[in-house]
Structure 1
Amino acid sequence: MKSLKCAAFTDALIPVEVESTFVRGLPGFNIVGLAGATIKESESRVKAALMSLNFKFPASKIIINLSPSDTPKNGSHFDLAIALLIALQKERIDGDFFVFGELGLDGSLKSTASLFSILLFLSTKVKRAKILVPQSIALKACTIPNYDVYAVDSLSDAVRFFLDEEFAASRLMRETHPLFKNVVEIDGQAYVPNRDFSLDFKDVKGQKRAKRASLIAACGMHNILFEGSPGCGKSMCAKRIARILPPQSLGEVLLSCAYESLNNKDVDFSALRPFRSPHHTSTRSSIFGGGSSGAKIGEVALANGGELFFDELPHFGKQILESLREPLEDNRILISRVNS
């Protein structure tokens, strides 16, 4: 039996050990361990990718187990770990690796929308881990502390990675993301200054008191309420506050990107703090998070560390306005649903 490691989101993120064995019996391919529909579909992707390498399946029954077996799991990022355990069944795998990646039918390796958030939250649970990821996300992944990141482009490269030590050493990522090449050191902490001023306060004519109030709110990360006649510049000021907020630390940039990926978006790092502006017709679950089948992140969490702008505040529903009390007082939001 051989094993590699992966990770999955359940009620919280858990490391998952992917185990494989070949047993005597009719040829078959079974994945056990409460695997979701996305993982079950990986059987076809893995078979096609291995056949692109001219791999000959043995006349045995292949069993893949995802441990712990009593926890539901989902995600196409298990593809690479499953394929490697089949391809390298007769080989010795040295080292303790976390392996992530979705396979194309031609053996190419792809990232997934939620992979960066998985990597970030996993770094808080494991110490000095070695991870093998697709090349497309490697530059982002190597900015996460606590990781040795190795990058490959395809399944054939991943197989070679475990067979050729020199090739494996050459795949270690040592590059720095362009955003973090010009950081500002303040009291030993690295900050990323924002240089995007496409929205500038110089566009707001007059309104000196409003602009000074915006400056004070931005410096101290305070709440601010604008009141005035239509067209006097309330929205203009609010949309420009995000540009003058204090610079983000390295950890804040990583966390902001992770929250966006939890929203099923593949985003890159940005020095600009988040700016969210939900419409007054938005539902409570879209603003605070939730959902019928499973909990999803909402606008309040997506705006974490940045600006949440409620335009035409009185038009928002009473239930939404009253629900704002919890995040305003406790600086946190709790989402509780039947399934998660």
Structure 2
Amino acid sequence: MEKTSKTKTKKINSATLEGFNAKKVEVESSFTKALPGFSIVGLTSQSIQESKERVKSALLNNDFEFPPLKITISLSPADLKKEGSHFDLPIALSILYHKKDINLDDFLVLGELGLDGTLKDTNAIFPIILSLKPKKVIIPLESAAKVSKIPGIEIYAFSHLKEFEEFKPKEFKKSELHYDSIKIDGKKYYYVNEFKEDFIDVIGQNEAKEAALISAAGFHNILLEGSPGVGKSMIISRMRYILPPMSLEEILEVEKYNSLEGKVVTFKPLRPFRAPHYSSTKAAIFGGGSRGAKIGEIAFANKGILFFDELPYFQKDVLENLRLPLQDKKVLISRVNSKIEYETDILFAAAMNPCPCGNLLSPVKECRCTDLEIRRYKNRISEPLYDRIEIYHQMTEDDAKDTISSEELFEKVLIAFEMQKGKFNANLEENYKFNLENEAVEILNKAKRSFALSRRSEFNLLKVSKTIANLDKRNKIKKADILKALRFRKR
């Protein structure tokens, strides 16, 4: 009996996303003299199984040989679930080069194929490369402009399968960000002088605007309370445009989430702003899912603002589950088949009415709520959650006509950001040694006795005080800084 013969097994490096972190995948191919067939194995999704038809059509439509053999493509490790149409290109190259001695070991290969052989970008390519940071990549030309912003990667971009007939890769030229920037300790931080929503539209409410400025400058969590129409949501929505500049790493991280969400990647140094409705479920806010772990709103708000309007109306389990992400700056989602841990470095902003009807603080409207209804309404927010909100301000209707522009506020934020050396006071380590004047120490000790401050409350007070000092171009905390921080503390 004649023995069956088999070509040498070929391996090409690719990857898949697990949550939003990438895992390496080896695309192995085997060609056996047997009844012709084409199979892909290795715990693959429907999109990968459909790859067989795209790859076959792309090869035949460009006059490449599709071998009349039993073709087996194995994606390993076999126990890792894989999905995504970006496996088209490594599978096609496995077949195209099955008789050629072309070494692709140094490359990570990603790309979707059109039926005519055109290479297409996918939402997964940018997050995969950002996660793995390989030395060399072979990707569609459509993906190259985005990927070129990631430092330290050699990019070899192709627009059509025909270009692989003779493998002569040419490195894609890197591109840089062209936005205003400041340099701190040799590192660039980018920003845009663009104020789509401007604080100049907010008439009066000077203390609330000062609270918003301190919150933005130090990335401190903030809660505004007041009757409907006093400008709570108006102020918080404008905070996005005065947030501190972003490093390249932060911009790439934000765009990674945008790409996963199917948004256009622009690399604009504008921090995210997410405002989920109070009817949102726990899974929608924090991520979850019955089959595989998925990320939620708090992940998409990373490096930016997560805004809860009508705070007490959010589900109780949502509010209680906020405590750990605000404290630890991360979330872990565990499911039977997958676990995802992601960063939640957010500025949590919230707004609420003083009572269910909203008129408790109004000088002209009568409150219709009973004392019991008001207590129940406010008790929906626990003390541990209040304890993680560093800035609180109760807004009332005022007749002031003062205005200040977002541009003026942003200039102050830039001063504080430079004083913080590109970091945020909200993220200071618990063992940080604050520099206080003697009078500031005295008033702090009085506050600890008078308000029975917990260790966390005292630490939050000092962090806010430091931001107030930084806005005044100082690192040393004065008595006035402590007093102002106490004014913006929830009692």
TM-score by length of 1: 0.92
Aligned-residue offset at 1:146: 2.9
**Is 1:61 aligned to residue 70 of structure 2?**
yes
Counterpart residue identity of residue 175, structure 2: T
Contact 1:102/1:112 (8 A) holds in 2: yes
**Is 1:303 aligned to residue 301 of structure 2?**
yes
Contact 2:189/2:248 (8 A) holds in 1: yes
Q: Any residues of structure 2 matched to 1:25-104 within 5 Å, and which? A: 25-95=34-104, 96-104=106-114
Aligned to 1:335, the other structure's residue is in SS state strand
Counterpart residue identity of residue 130, structure 1: K
Distance 1:3 1:223 in 2: 50
Q: Any residues of structure 2 matched to 1:173-188 within 5 Å, and which? A: 173-177=172-176, 179-180=177-178, 182-188=180-186
Q: Any residues of structure 2 matched to 1:128-207 within 5 Å, and which? A: 129-157=135-163, 159-160=164-165, 163-165=166-168, 168-169=169-170, 172-177=171-176, 179-180=177-178, 182-207=180-205
Structural RMSD (CA): 1.6
**Is 1:6 aligned to residue 30 of structure 2?**
no
Counterpart residue identity of residue 2, structure 1: K
Residue 317 of structure 2 aligns with which residue?
319
**Is 1:253 aligned to residue 251 of structure 2?**
yes
Aligned to 1:227, the other structure's residue is in SS state strand
Counterpart residue identity of residue 95, structure 2: I
Residue 129 of structure 2 aligns with which residue?
119
Contact 1:8/1:75 (8 A) holds in 2: yes
Contact 2:179/2:191 (8 A) holds in 1: no
Residue 219 of structure 1 aligns with which residue?
217
Residue 107 of structure 1 aligns with which residue?
117
Percent identity, please. Answer: 51
Aligned to 2:249, the other structure's residue is in SS state helix
Counterpart residue identity of residue 94, structure 1: N
Counterpart residue identity of residue 131, structure 1: V
Aligned-residue offset at 1:260: 2.4
Residue 419 of structure 2 aligns with which residue?
none
Counterpart residue identity of residue 146, structure 1: G
Distance 1:63 1:133 in 2: 23
Counterpart residue identity of residue 143, structure 1: K
Say which of 228, 233, 244 aligns to 2:231.
Answer: 233
Contact 1:262/1:297 (8 A) holds in 2: no
Contact 2:139/2:158 (8 A) holds in 1: yes
Counterpart residue identity of residue 15, structure 1: K
Distance 1:182 1:213 in 2: 26
Residue 277 of structure 2 aligns with which residue?
279
Contact 1:111/1:136 (8 A) holds in 2: yes
Distance 2:102 2:181 in 1: 39
Counterpart residue identity of residue 38, structure 2: F
Cα shift readout 1:239-295 (whole Å, capped 9, x = no counterpart):
011111110100000011112233344533221000000001111100111112211
Aligned to 1:118, the other structure's residue is in SS state helix
Q: How many positions carry a matched residue from both structures?
A: 328
Distance 2:158 2:32 in 1: 30
Aligned-residue offset at 1:75: 1.2
Aligned-residue offset at 1:94: 2.9
Counterpart residue identity of residue 150, structure 1: Y
Q: Which has the larger radius of gyration?
A: 2
Counterpart residue identity of residue 98, structure 2: Q
4+ long deviations beyond 6 Å: none
Counterpart residue identity of residue 304, structure 1: N
Contact 2:17/2:124 (8 A) holds in 1: no
**Which runs of no fewer than 5 residues in structure 1 stay unpaired?**
none
Distance 2:129 2:280 in 1: 31
Contact 1:6/1:99 (8 A) holds in 2: yes
Aligned-residue offset at 1:56: 2.8
TM-score by length of 2: 0.64
Distance 1:181 1:2 in 2: 44
Counterpart residue identity of residue 45, structure 1: R
Counterpart residue identity of residue 325, structure 2: P
Counterpart residue identity of residue 154, structure 1: H
Aligned-residue offset at 1:58: 2.3
Contact 2:179/2:192 (8 A) holds in 1: no
Distance 1:64 1:89 in 2: 12
- Describe the shift of the 1:138–1:84 C-alpha distance in structure 2 as closer, same or farther (beyond 3 A): same
Deviates more, 1:297-306 or 1:191-200: 191-200
Contact 1:114/1:266 (8 A) holds in 2: no
Counterpart residue identity of residue 128, structure 2: I
Counterpart residue identity of residue 333, structure 1: V
Aligned to 1:309, the other structure's residue is in SS state strand
**Is 1:17 aligned to residue 26 of structure 2?**
yes
Distance 1:182 1:61 in 2: 57
Aligned-residue offset at 1:325: 0.7
